[in-house]
Amino acid sequence: MEPMQPNSASNVHSIARWKSPEILTPGRPFSGVELRAMANDGVLQRIIPDAYAPSGARPSPELRAAALATGLTSRLMGRTVVGRLSAAWIFGCAPAPVAPVLLVPAPRRLSAAGRGNGVLLHEVALGEFDVIEVGALCVTTPLRTVVDVAVHGEGALAALVVRRLVAQPGLGLTLSLVSRAVDALPRQPNKQRAKEVLRRLAMADR
């Protein structure tokens, strides 16, 4: 299976027909001080630092993706995929990222994505069905996201995010499905740790 290329219409699956949510950032047209004041007054809600939405806007993957996109260059948006805990945040199951995790699909090299201040870049293999479009961004699917969090996450936060992803309505995840996906991974560091996280979650649900 060939790795997908971000923004390729033939193999990127969209979760919704997207209409850009209204996101306000400093200087467009309000200053950062004005935006913070409006958030304090309840007029706006802060999605991530320097990205705000009207207080009545419903929190959604599309809204969070639109907020995250304001801090990314068009080159990064076109050549990377939001992954791991950052993708879990897009789905509403993890804290907002301080430094967004962006995946560069092999065989592209990290240099092809260009430079991105304040982001973490990882070169990975992505399958044809590992990526969906959420608004303007490519994001790993819920299944790929939860597997990545189980394998690459650490400590209590990873277990909490895995549990939230599995419990989140509409993502189509179960612990059994995630366990089978982890079992199917080739041998790699942290695979056993991921299996242990899932085992403990399954025992806690009994």
pLDDT of residue 9: 34
Determine the average pLDDT of the residues in 41-45: 96
Spans of all domains in the chain: 13-19+72-204, 22-59
How far is residue 28's CA from residue 41's CA, in Å, rounded to a whole number?
19
- pTM for this prediction: 0.86
Determine the average pLDDT of the residues in 23-42: 94
Please, which pLDDT band fits residue 189 given cuts at 50, 70 and 90?
confident
Residue 103, both tokens: 């995946």
Reply yes or no on whether the pLDDT at 19 is more than 50.
no
Please, which pLDDT band fits residue 51 given cuts at 50, 70 and 90?
very high
pLDDT digits (tens, 9 = 90+) for 97-152: 999 999 999 876 666 555 556 899 999 999 989 999 999 899 999 999 999 999 99
pLDDT of residue 18: 40
**Sheet with 81-82: strands ordered across:** 13-14, 131-134, 137-140, 81-82, 101-105, 120-124
